[in-house]
Amino acid sequence: MEEKDGGVTVTWGLGEPVTEDAVEFFGYGVDYYGPDGNGGKRFGVRWQTAATAHVWEHVSSTQSNYGADSVITTEDAVVVTYRDANIGLDEVGTINAFSHVAGADQQLQIPVTLLR
């Protein structure tokens, strides 16, 4: 996860493909909070009919949505550019990545490197 002027870029390294037959949707996310457990955001990407991305603000319960043009998928990684987004905290406490299939968590507490 990297914060730069004008946006945040998140890269998820990919492992083995999902082996379930009929998957309605799946996705990846990064969830974080401040050192006091407050604030923070969730940066996510989801595939259903098309790829979409979002940033969820924990404090205000608002969401910014991004289209498929923000998502690049390769054989080894998914890279999402959240234009005009920011981390929103001077100091990040808890930060973890996760994956889900049809809303059911598959992997939790995946380590995240935050670059600023």
Tens of pLDDT along the chain (116 residues) come to 999 988 999 999 987 776 667 788 999 999 999 999 999 999 999 999 899 999 999 999 999 999 999 999 999 999 999 999 999 999 999 999 999 988 888 888 989 999 99
pTM above 0.95, yes or no: no
Q: Which residues contact 26 (CB under 8 A, 6 or more apart)?
A: 18, 46, 47, 99, 100, 101, 102
Write phi, then psi, for 105 (nearest 5 degrees): -60, 135
Domain edges within the chain: 2-109
